[in-house]
């Protein structure tokens, strides 16, 4: 009887594994087709200056318009894209798409040059030895200045191959690109390493922003991250800001920039452009600074 039960359990287990394997295979097949059919696109989440809530740029976030399953989030496909190597193709397409959008904005709205677009790089993309040449050729082809592009690389990716990362980052920075360390706080950075990396921004992972109000200890952690960043000469971006209370706390801690549903969801290209137009009009009306 025990044996039978155990057998059943084993069967349930293998059925689920089989389901998962089949799901993965069909997702991988769909992804290959989807790349060919141009089903992947970017949405743009505004990044704002916490001091006056003005727009400073956008983070480009990947989406997949799946023919049967609707719009899928990166949590549903980036990991598999990494595993299968499809991330190389997908990633360079996303960077290309972001630069093409920027080029269009620059020609339709020249003042838009003051807003940056930030693109996420996965670990495999970052380690790829062709990355630098790829970035260089995309910038060249689209005519977008490197200074308008930020690349977001997660803390974990940078730490995984710290020695190569320093050199890689230095080369990207030499092109004029700005570097953000993404999802900060979720990895295990060694402070002595962190100091060596040529970085510009540090993005506090949204899990910390969320936890901040749960206990005073968590607020102290965020405070420590902000002060660490400032010691290293980095500006801080908080992600996932959803409430005025979170905004106030982060502002009081000296955090410079933020993104989150309190300000805006990720926007379509058209919506993002409309937001730039509005924000340029508002800043025109403000007296000149300084």
Contact residue for ligand C2E among 178, 189, 259, 279 (CB under 6 A): 259
Contact residue for ligand C2E among 160, 162, 240, 280 (CB under 6 A): 240
Q: Using CB under 6 A, which residues numbered 83 to 142 contact ligand C2E?
A: 91, 94, 120-122
Which CB sits closer to Mg ion, 30 or 148? Answer: 148
- Residues 135, 133: Cα–Cα separation, whole Å: 6
Q: Is 73 in the site for ligand C2E (CB under 6 A)?
A: yes
98 contacts 148 by C-beta, under 8 angstroms: no
Q: Is 34 in the site for ligand C2E (CB under 6 A)?
A: no
Binding residues for ligand C2E, rule CB under 6 A, total: 24
Which of the ranges 6-14, 36-44, 167-175, 177-185 carries the binding residues for Mg ion, by CB under 5 A?
Answer: 177-185
Q: Is 150 in the site for Mg ion (CB under 5 A)?
A: no
Please provide the DSSP assignment of 96-109 as one string.
Answer: HHHHHHHHHHHHH-
* Strand-pair category, 70-72 with 54-66: antiparallel
Contact residue for Mg ion among 30, 155, 182, 264 (CB under 5 A): 182
Q: What angle do CA 228, 233, 236 make, to 5 degrees?
A: 65
Residue 188 binding target from Mg ion, ligand C2E, none, CB below 5 to 8 Å by type: none
Closest among 229, 277, 280 to 256, alpha carbons compared: 229
Closest among 188, 259, 198, 189 to 234, alpha carbons compared: 198
Residue 48 binding target from Mg ion, ligand C2E, none, CB below 5 to 8 Å by type: none
Which of the ranges 78-86, 163-171, 174-182, 247-255 carries the binding residues for Mg ion, by CB under 5 A?
Answer: 174-182
Reading the block at residue 166, the tokens are: 């320093």
Residue 216, φ and ψ in degrees, nearest 5: -60, -30
Angle between helices 131-142 and 162-175 (to 10 degrees): 20
The length of the chain, given as a count of residues: 290
Report how far apart, in Å, the C-alpha atoms of 268 and of each of 58, 264, 275 are: 11, 11, 11
Mask for 211-250, x = binds Mg ion (CB under 5 A): ----------------------------x-----------
Which residues, including other chains, have CB under 8 Å from residue 120's CB and lie 6 or more apart?
59, 60, 61, 62, 94, 151, 152, 182
Nearest-approach distance from CB 22 to ligand C2E, in angstroms? 24
Which of the ranges 127-135, 170-178, 203-211, 224-232 carries the binding residues for Mg ion, by CB under 5 A?
Answer: 203-211
Chain residues binding ligand C2E by CB under 6 A are 45, 61-62, 73-75, 78, 91, 94, 120-122, 152, 182-183, 206, 239-242, 259-261, 266
Chain residues binding Mg ion by CB under 5 A are 120, 152, 182-183, 203, 205, 239
């Amino acid at each position: 009887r025990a044996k039978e039960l155990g057998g059943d359990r084993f069967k349930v287990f293998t059925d689920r594994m089989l389901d998962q394997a089949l799901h993965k295979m069909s997702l991988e097949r769909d992804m290959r087709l989807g790349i060919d059919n141009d089903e992947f696109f970017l949405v743009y989440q505004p990044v704002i200056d916490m001091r006056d809530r003005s727009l400073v740029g956008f983070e480009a976030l990947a989406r997949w318009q799946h023919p049967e399953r609707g719009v899928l989030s990166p949590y549903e496909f980036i990991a598999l894209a990494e595993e299968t190597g499809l991330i190389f193709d997908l990633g360079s397409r996303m960077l290309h798409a972001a630069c093409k959008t920027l080029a269009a904005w620059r020609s339709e709205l020249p003042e838009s040059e003051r807003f940056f677009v930030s693109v996420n790089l996965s670990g495999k993309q970052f380690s790829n030895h062709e990355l630098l040449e790829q970035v260089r050729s995309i910038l060249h082809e689209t005519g977008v200045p490197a200074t308008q592009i930020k690349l977001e690389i997660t803390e974990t990716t940078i730490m995984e191959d710290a020695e190569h990362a320093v050199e890689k980052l230095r080369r990207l920075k030499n092109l004029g690109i700005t570097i953000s360390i993404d999802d900060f706080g979720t990895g295990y950075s060694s402070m002595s390493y962190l100091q060596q990396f040529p970085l510009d921004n540090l993005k506090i992972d949204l899990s910390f922003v969320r936890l901040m109000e749960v206990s005073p200890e968590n607020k102290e952690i965020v405070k420590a991250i902000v002060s660490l960043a400032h010691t290293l000469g980095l500006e801080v971006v908080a992600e996932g800001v959803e409430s005025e209370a979170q905004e106030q706390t982060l502002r009081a801690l000296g955090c410079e920039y933020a993104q989150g549903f309190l300000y805006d969801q990720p926007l379509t290209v058209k919506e993002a452009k409309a937001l730039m137009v509005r924000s340029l009009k508002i800043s025109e009306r403000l007296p000149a600074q300084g």
